[in-house]
Structure formats: structure tokens, C-alpha cells
Amino acid sequence: MTASAHRVIQSFYEAVNRRDIPAAMDLVDDDCLYQDLNFPHPFQGKEAVQKLLEDSCKGMPNDLQFVIDDITEGDPLAVGVLWHVELGGAPFPNGRGASFCRVSEKTGKLVFARDLVEPPFKPGDAAFFIIRLVTPLIRRQLKGKQRNSEDAIAPSSQLGASQPRLSVVLWMLSAAYLYLLLLSPPGQLIPGEPAWAIQPDTLREVIDESINFFFILPILNGIGMMYMKAPTVNPVTEALFNFAEAWIFMFLPLLLADKRGRNLPKVPIWGMAMFLTNVFLTPYMALRAAAPAAPSQEKCQKGRLARGFGWTGVCVGAIALTWVFIGRPEFGGLTERAQYFGEQLMTNRVTVAFCVDLVLFTVFQAVLMGAVEPLGSQARWLRFIPFWGLAIWLII
């Protein structure tokens, strides 16, 4: 070995900072395995690593530099590195990372590396909730691998059977929803900015729509109660926001009536879905699909709570539909409003997200109402009427 591991890795970073790819590759072993966790697959072999370096350096400004904060020196073959990225001498946002590197005992060159980069989206305490939410599914999947052949060939109609394949599909849908609508870079797949790069105007619009929740403040202002002035928001997106909120609001009695998800934390999930809709409702449906089916299907007994939720949905939904056409006349007529909505679909990710929510709500409403309302019930057909079917079912 010609040099200690930490000197090899320091020289590797220095070559990358100079954009000297040949010098960097002179320090890489032919059998190198490079794992950059930003990518779904590792880079195996010297040629693959070289392409990674070339692609990462292509078009990058010369003053974008890796700065080593700390590097271990006690092991002659392996090092841990703490680093951050600077642009023109200033720390780059979300530019911190940690790496583990190992050099070959035979060649003294980099033979293994794993890079962990600071994520742009930081869920904070929500990460603990997500882990708790996913753990039951993972546990069930692990237990499923230990089932005997008799359990594996049991018919899907058997009481207590789960739907693991559907659960996997719903988890994939949940991941796609989270990435596409919240995390994907601007212009990559859908228009608009992601949550980690949201523009002040978009954030202001979301806050104003939230202040006008269920049109309470605009209605109070309209009857002369001016304790707080309602923000002025385009009536089209304001109505879309409140319609979606009214729909997820009505899901609570339906979730509580569903016996299949009886062991899931329904109220906390619903509470967070009121803020982030299908970021939480779709994972719930995935967990529900993996849970055993209810042993019996009885007529659901709805009380005052369900009727209150149903009437609230009817009122807010009716106001929202009216608001689209005649609310805030200063925003023009139907032509201007239709044109504005089309523009928002092409440029505003929040609008796209709410439209996707309405589609998913339609599907989930049909699934949950079909599970709650027994076969042969005269009210069972209501599940196929988006929004209004759920509202009527809650009231009757």
C-alpha cells in the first residue's frame, strides 16, 4: 500500500475539486463499488464510477467545492469523512454529508465508498410517525415469509385474509404521490416548485386559503363581522381547497366505521390528512389492505356525529361549487376563471395535488363504503357518487 487511507481519500476529493477526473480515477480500484444513496443503484466497477464523476462535474461551477470537516486517521484501510459543499466560499444549502470509504489492501486504491447526503426535505418529528406507520406492514410482511404452505394457498375470500399485493401497490402509490407532488425537482416531471423550494407567493396563497377554511371568515365578513379581515384569494383555487378539505373531513366517521382498520390509529391519521391529505390517507389504505378482513359485515349504525359531518360536507361543498362561479366577482366571469384554472394546472403544483386528491378520494370512498355497507343494502350504490354519495350516506 503506497499511502494511508485518509491521504488517498483526501487526494481523491482534491482531484474532484480541481475537476481532474483522470487524477481522481488513478485513485480508484478496478473493482470499486461506489454507493451514492441519491441513486437507486450502486456504481460497480471503475468505468461506472468514472461516469458518475464525469456526470457530477459536468457543468458545475469551479467554485463549487467539497470541504472536508473531519476525517478519521486511525485505520490504515478505512476512513469516515464529514464534509460540506461550498459555493464561492459560502456553505451551499442542504450541502452537508458523510461518507465511509475503504481502500484495497492490495492496490491501496478506493475499493468501496458510501455517500450519505443531507436530504432537502426534512420531515422532523414526522419521520418518527412514518416509521411507526410503516412498522406494522413490515412486520406483517416478515411474518408472511414464515407462513407454511397451507396458509400460503388459502383462498383470498377466506375470513381474515389480507391483501398484501394491493398493500404493496398502495405503498408504491403513496411513495409516488410523495415524491412527484412534494419532492420532485421543478420541471422534472410535473410543473411548479416542490415543498423544499416553494416560492413565497405560493406559500402565501396556501396560508390564505387555510385562513379561509370552510369559508368561515369570508362569510362572517359578509354579514358584517369584521373581527379579522379574510385574505383575498382567487375563488377557483379557494373553492378547490375547501372542497377537498370538506371531503377528507367527512372521511372520519367512515374510517371509524370500518372494522378492517380497527387496530390502526385512525383519528391521528385523519387529523394529519386534514393538513396533508393523501400523504397520510394513502399509507393508511396500504396498512388497511395488509390487515385481516373483518369477520362479519353488519349494518353500520350512524349517530349524530356522522350526520353532523355529513351536513357540514354538504354545506361546504355547496358553497364551494357556488363560490367557483359567483364568489369574489372582482376576479371576472366564467371565461376568466376557467382560463385561470387551466393556467394553474400547468404551473401550480398545489393545484395539481388537490386535483389528484379528488381522484384518490373517489377511489378510497368507494372502497371504504363498500367495506362498511353490507351487500344487498339499498345505500351501497352511494359509494360510486364522489363526495355527495358520502355526504348523503352519513346523513341518512
Q: Which of 153-157, 202-206, 335-339 has the highest mean pLDDT?
A: 335-339
Instruction: Report whether pLDDT(319) > 50.
Output: yes
pLDDT digits (tens, 9 = 90+) for 61-70: 889 999 999 9
Beta strand 28-36 with 110-117: parallel, antiparallel or unpaired?
A: parallel
| Unique residue bearing C-alpha cell 410535473 | 190
Task: Return the closest-CA partner of residue 182 out of 352, 59, 355.
Answer: 352
Instruction: Report whether pLDDT(369) > 50.
Output: yes
Residue 13 CA to residue 18 CA, distance in Å, equals 9
Task: Return the closest-CA partner of residue 171 out of 286, 87, 72, 57.
Answer: 286
pLDDT of residue 41: 85
Instruction: Report whether pLDDT(146) > 80.
Output: no
User: 28 - beta bridge partners?
Assistant: 110
pLDDT digits (tens, 9 = 90+) for 218-255: 999 999 998 899 999 999 999 999 999 999 999 999 99
Q: How far is CA 173 from CA 123, 164, 176, 326, 384, in A?
A: 19, 14, 5, 36, 21
Which domains occur in the chain, in start order?
Answer: 5-117 (3.10.450.50), 160-395 (no CATH)
Instruction: Report whether pLDDT(72) > 60.
Output: yes
Q: Give residues with Cβ within 8 angstroms of 245, minimum separation 6.
A: 213, 214, 274, 316
The dihedral built from the CA positions of residue 225, 226, 228 and 233, taken in this order, carries a sign that is positive
pLDDT of residue 151: 43
**Residue 155's pLDDT band (boundaries 50, 70, 90)?**
very low
N-term to C-term CA, the chain: 80
Q: What is the DSSP string of 366-395?
A: HHHHHHHSPTT-TTGGGGGSTTHHHHHHHH
